[in-house]
Structure 1
Amino acid sequence: MSQEFYHDQVFKNIDYTQQPFSKGEYDNCTFVNCTFEAVYLSTTTFLECTFDTCNMTNAKVKSTSFNEVDFINCKLLGVDFSLCNDFLFSATFQDCILELASFAELTIKQTTFRSSTMHRVDFTRTNLENSVFDDCDLTEAIFEHTNLEKADLSSAYNYTIDPTQNQLKKAKFSRKEIHGLLTNYDIKISS
């Protein structure tokens, strides 16, 4: 069965929980206000695509390719990006809800997360070198054996990162949120 190829198309207001999603390759396509909740996107390739105001809660992304993809104002609860095809994986996330998502063991250097809610996101053994967390809420995000070298978390907040369990060389943090690096030491910091 051959897969479809879509180029330079805009898909608007489609609820893929009510109609089938066509697997294939999407090149320079835009999805606006679409619902992919628990939809199987497995083995689909998205190249230079934009997802704008889409609900992708619990979307199934095993072996899915995301290459130069922008997620804007999307709901990505529970998406397990760790199952994606990690070859050339590159994405940006702007104003997204990424709660309970996982990027475990991916190499996603230079990824930008901007103004996003990232509660309980799993970054275990993820390579986030040179990545940016701009104005992101990282409440209960998991950083274990994570490479954050040269990452910019200077405007991120509510994170807990153990410097003895992660690579932090030349990473940027704000003075106001520095307590997130000291939580495991059970010390009190006065203002």
Structure 2
Amino acid sequence: MALKKDKSSNAPEAPRIPERLIELAIEDYEIQDKQSFENGRFGQGTIANQTADKVVFDRVVFENVHFDQIALERAELTDVVFNRCDLSNVNFRDSILHRVQFINCKLLGFDLSNTTMRNVKFDQCNGQYSVYRFADMKFVSYLRSNLDKADFYEASFSKTEFAESSIDQAQFAGAKLAGIDLSSCEFYSIGATLEGIQGCIVREDQVRGFARLIGVVIKEA
């Protein structure tokens, strides 16, 4: 385990959102398989009880939208922003996300298992119990977010950062954290393998959390 060092910038590329978007009324849509939404903005409201496959969102903004009982597996999201949205327990498994931002969102139990994520940012989100099992991440940032008990089982991290976030009891078993800087995060313990934490960057006081993985008790001097 390496101690804290200067971080290189792995900032994701921002979504490319047009200046003018079509205002879309949530109540006007029942989402269908392979449906495409482009150049639009969904304002305050609720999208409820929708299940569809291979839906495409391209240059779309969601603001103050509550997703309730939503399953959109194998979706494609490109240049999409979720701002102050509630996506708790939403299912986006097997989806592709490219240049997507989640800003100040509620993501309790949000399921992104088996997703491919490129240039994705989570900022000031509540992602407790969110699921990223087997996700393939590159240029992904988790900033100032609560990821307690999140599940990153066998996720793949490339140029991924966790900054100023809580990751207590998050599950990283099967994932390799080499080069991942957790020094600005807070946790008492995390789930991981000894092999997986090799090369992870932490503060001296955080070494205690890793010591618990092998049952080591550190005695105060």
TM-score over 0.5 for the alignment?
Answer: yes
- 1:129·1:149 contact (CA, 8 Å) conserved in 2? no
Residue equivalent to 1:32: 63
Equivalent-residue separation in structure 2 for 1:3 and 1:164 (angstroms): 43
Residue 175 of structure 1 pairs with residue 204 of structure 2? yes
> What is the Cα deviation at residue 189 of structure 1?
4.6
Residue equivalent to 1:186: 216
Taking every aligned residue pair, what percent have the same amino acid on both sides? Answer: 20
- 2:60·2:79 contact (CA, 8 Å) conserved in 1? yes
Equivalent-residue separation in structure 1 for 2:121 and 2:173 (angstroms): 22
Q: Which amino acid aligns with 2:162?
A: F
Note the 1:59-78 alignment, pairs <5 A: 59-78=90-109
> What is the Cα deviation at residue 162 of structure 1?
4.7
Residue 106 of structure 1 pairs with residue 128 of structure 2? no
Counting matched residue pairs gives 188
Q: Which amino acid aligns with 1:13?
A: Q
Q: Which amino acid aligns with 1:187?
A: V
> What is the Cα deviation at residue 66 of structure 1?
1.6
- 2:50·2:71 contact (CA, 8 Å) conserved in 1? no
Aligned CA-pair RMSD: 2.6
> What is the Cα deviation at residue 151 of structure 1?
1.0
> What is the Cα deviation at residue 129 of structure 1?
3.5
Equivalent-residue separation in structure 1 for 2:192 and 2:34 (angstroms): 45
TM-score (norm 2): 0.75
Residue equivalent to 1:154: 183
TM-score (norm 1): 0.85
Q: Which amino acid aligns with 2:216?
A: D
Unaligned runs of 5+ in 2: 1-31
Larger radius of gyration: 2
Q: Which amino acid aligns with 2:103?
A: I
- 2:52·2:73 contact (CA, 8 Å) conserved in 1? no
Report SS of the residue matched to 2:101. strand
Q: CA, structure 1 residues 43+22, in 2 after alignment: closer, same or farther (shift >3 Å)?
A: closer
- 1:123-156: CA deviation from partner (whole Å, max 9, x where unpaired): 1111224321111111110121211121111101
- 2:139·2:159 contact (CA, 8 Å) conserved in 1? yes
Report SS of the residue matched to 1:160. coil
Equivalent-residue separation in structure 2 for 1:72 and 1:93 (angstroms): 6
